[in-house]
Amino acid sequence: MTDQPHGTHPEGAPDEERPGEGPVIRDKRRIDPETGRLRQTTDNEGAEAVSDQTTPAGGDPAAGEAAEATEPQTETDTHPDTLLAAERLEEMRRMQAEFVNFRNRTQRERETDRGRATGAVVEALLPVLDDVHSAREHGDLTEGSPFAAIADKLEQALGRFGVERVGAVGDVFDPNVHEALMHLPAEQVELPEGTTEMTVVQVMQPGFKVGEQVVRAARVAVADPS
């Protein structure tokens, strides 16, 4: 057995067991406090630490780069052409809605103007229509007579434009289309059985309306049920 110098121990013995020396403190800090750089460790523990930081699971650095490259983006980028197409589509829908509204409004105005024009014609023909009504009441419009044929054609022509005669015996009195000139006692007239409302018993002058427009209210005599 060879003699060893004082303060030494056989080669390969752990540092903690070296006689004559104090405890050995290993500096395991990965960053050098003097240079601020990562230390190139040679022990197994340091190598594993560096490997954990630089190499992803599986041991392939290229795989880590590929994984980062294929990660989904957190923000969705919309192509400018897509935004432009959406704006044009919205403008087209708005213009279509405006056109539909314009068409409907124009149609209503046209029908209103047509009703007013027809009403003006009917108002001008009221004297003729009153004469037709009087002749019919007196029995002058017998079937087959020339005057009866002319009266029928006139009324049919006006009917094609929406002209309607209002006011007939037995109608329930409606102040919107009837004008009551006389109020007769119930005992002087014969009302239909079961009548419970004021009823027209005589038409003195018929009324006319075009659609919902009343050209002239019918002038009538009415009676209340007893």
Grade residue 113 by pLDDT with cuts at 50, 70 and 90. confident
Please report, rounded to a whole number, the percentage of residues in the chain having pLDDT higher than 90.
28
Q: Which pairs count as long-range contacts for 177-181, CB under 8 Å and 24+ apart, including other chains?
A: 177/207, 177/209, 177/214, 177/217, 177/218, 178/207, 178/217, 178/218, 178/220, 178/222, 179/207, 179/217, 179/218, 179/219, 179/220, 180/220, 180/221, 180/222, 181/219, 181/220, 181/221
Q: Give the pLDDT band (50/70/90) at residue 49.
A: very low
The predicted model gives 108-116 an average pLDDT of 87
List Cβ neighbours of 157 (8 Å cut-off, separation of 6 or more).
none
- Mean pLDDT for the chain overall: 77
* pLDDT for residue 145 is more than 90: no
Which of the following CATH numbers is that of domain 163-226: 3.40.50.620, 2.30.22.10, 3.20.20.10, 3.40.50.300? Answer: 2.30.22.10
Higher pLDDT, 174 or 16: 174
Q: What percent of the chain has pLDDT over 70?
A: 69
Domain boundaries, the chain: 163-226
Unique residue bearing structure tokens 């213009």: 95
CA distances to 24, 45, 46, 56, 74 from 41, rounded to whole Å, are 18, 8, 5, 19, 38
Burial 81-109 (b: 16+ CB within 10 A, else e): eeeeeeeeeeeeeeeeeeeeeeeeeeeee
Q: pTM of the full predicted structure?
A: 0.52
